[in-house]
Amino acid sequence: MGGKICLVTGATAGIGAVTAEELARRGAQVILVGRDRSKCETTATRIRERTDNSAVEFLVADLSAQAEVRRLAREFQERYPRLDVLVNNAGAMFGQRQETVDGIERTFALNHLAYFLLTNLLLDTLKASAPARIVVVSSEAHRMAKGLDFDDLQHQRWYKPFRVYCESKLANLLFTYELARRLRGTGVTANALHPGFVATNFMAGEGFAHWSLRRAARLFAISPEEGAKTSVYLAASPEVEGVSGAYFVKQKPVPSSPASRNEAAARRLWQISEELTGLGISQEVAR
């Protein structure tokens, strides 16, 4: 990974921090993204010390806010000449329905729209750096979502935290597959993964859903180090050079749910996501 530049979101804790550290250990220049400057500084310092790699830096952004995502993309492009690997890792589950400053339900905004917007804003840089890779952290929880309700994507009629989270993970796969189709022939690949049931602070919060997940985590969860293995594999392994539009579990490609393979739903989600983020025609990746 020497000479490669990697951008990792949600990189101040859990599998994001481990992913960033492992990429740095392999010699990459790694840029962490987090919303808390102090945590970013602490994590970057720790990774530099553990890996003896001084090329570990950070950018601060709250990815649930679209203006912050746009600023992040702009700052990255101003500071760095290329982008070899983008790891879309940031995510959370919220116990109660919240809206962002953009008026969008927060789970959908952070877990899907942030991936969609940041990736699109950085696509020209990724293409210019080809071969390049986009890694999307999804989840086996996507199988519990039978499909997206396009009449209520933001769950204004009802809100059940875990179900909303599962639908956001389904959206990750629909996005990844559509992105891979649109990127054919560009030298940029896009793949998604399930990290395993990892005990991370994405489960922080109140309510029965969060209590249930924390209880299960004490019994069944794997470590962030174990959970980050597939992210690192997709970001760095020569075994997946040129592989695109696939879903990986334990570093192996596996079939995802039928709902995630619905191309019409993927196209519709893409169109709605463009509308919600205000992406202009010049920023589309459709050929």
Kindly report the CATH number that applies to the domain delimited by 5-197+225-283: 3.40.50.720
| This prediction's pTM | 0.92
User: Is it the case that residue 218 has pLDDT exceeding 80?
Assistant: no
- The per-residue pLDDT for 222 is 86
User: Is it the case that residue 10 has pLDDT exceeding 60?
Assistant: yes
- The per-residue pLDDT for 197 is 83
End-to-end CA distance of the chain: 30
pLDDT category of residue 210 using cuts at 50, 70 and 90: very low
DSSP 105: B
**Tens-place pLDDT, residues 24-55:** 999 999 999 999 999 999 999 999 999 999 99
Length of the chain: 287
**Tens-place pLDDT, residues 118-157:** 999 999 999 999 999 999 999 999 999 999 999 999 999 9
pLDDT category of residue 207 using cuts at 50, 70 and 90: low
Catalytic residue at 165?
yes
User: Is it the case that residue 97 has pLDDT exceeding 60?
Assistant: yes
**Tens-place pLDDT, residues 223-278:** 988 989 999 999 999 999 999 999 999 999 999 999 999 999 999 999 999 999 99
Share of the chain above pLDDT 90, in %: 86
Q: Which of 115, 165, 177, 233 is catalytic?
A: 165
Mean pLDDT, rounded, of the chain: 93
Per-domain boundaries in the chain: 5-197+225-283
Cα–Cα nearest to 152, from 215, 72, 97, 94: 97
- C-beta contacts of 56-60 below 8 A and 24+ residues apart: 56/20, 56/24, 56/29, 56/30, 56/32, 57/29, 57/30, 57/31, 57/32, 58/11, 58/31, 58/32, 58/33, 58/34, 59/31, 59/32, 59/33, 60/33, 60/34, 60/35, 60/36
Q: 45: Cβ–Cβ under 8 A, 6 or more apart, which residues?
A: none
